[in-house]
Amino acid sequence: MKTIAILNGPNLDRLGKREPEVYGRTTLADLEAALRAEFSARGTLDFFQSNHEGAIIDRISAWADARISGLVINPGGLTHTSVALRDSLLGSGLTIVEVHISNVYRREDFRQRSLTAAASVGVITGLGIEGYFAAVRYLLSR
Ligand code: DHK
């Protein structure tokens, strides 16, 4: 069975409460339950959320060592700022899909640069939580 990791970065623990007009009303717990319901027959899903850059990088290293089949990452604000996260992703050797709930190209200029996207095979932005489903589906089908 393939293992797909789903990693959410800073502030995504507040999904459903945080700016619902931008990020929707689904909580992270509900999203994770819905992903499990959809995909658990086809693969093992391993979820992680942290507001701490170092904890995120440590987890990526562990997944890299475990040679999991794929990683879905929404790096939150670290997308636009973190060289360390970019280096971690590039060095992991993992197959990665970057997801953004909102369409970052319709928002502030600073959101239109992703330092992390170069580590991924593709980026999904603006499809709401559906982006996570599309990303997992893609990684399971490879
Ligand atoms: C989530 C965040 O927390 C922001 O910092 C990004 C992304 C966009 C999202 O759309 O999921 O800029």
Q: How far is the CA of 128 from the centre of ligand 1 (A)?
A: 11
Query: Comparing C-alpha atoms, which of 13, 4, 22 is closest to residue 132?
Result: 4
pTM greater than 0.85: yes
* Domain count within the chain: 1
- Backbone phi and psi for residue 5, each to the nearest 5 degrees, phi listed first: -95, 145
pLDDT one digit per residue (tens) for the chain, 142 residues: 999 999 999 999 999 999 999 999 999 999 999 999 999 999 999 999 999 999 999 999 999 999 999 999 999 999 999 999 999 999 999 999 999 999 999 999 999 999 999 999 999 999 999 999 999 999 999 9
**How far is the centre of ligand 1, averaged over its atoms, from the C-alpha of 101 (Å)?**
7
Domain that holds residue 37: 2-141
Residue 99 one-letter amino acid? V
Residue 132 falls in the annotated catalytic set: no
| Pocket probe mutation, ligand 1, options 7, 22, 100, max atoms within 8 Å of Cβ | 100
Distance 102 CA to ligand 1 centre (A): 7
**Which CATH number fits the domain that encloses residue 69?**
3.40.50.9100
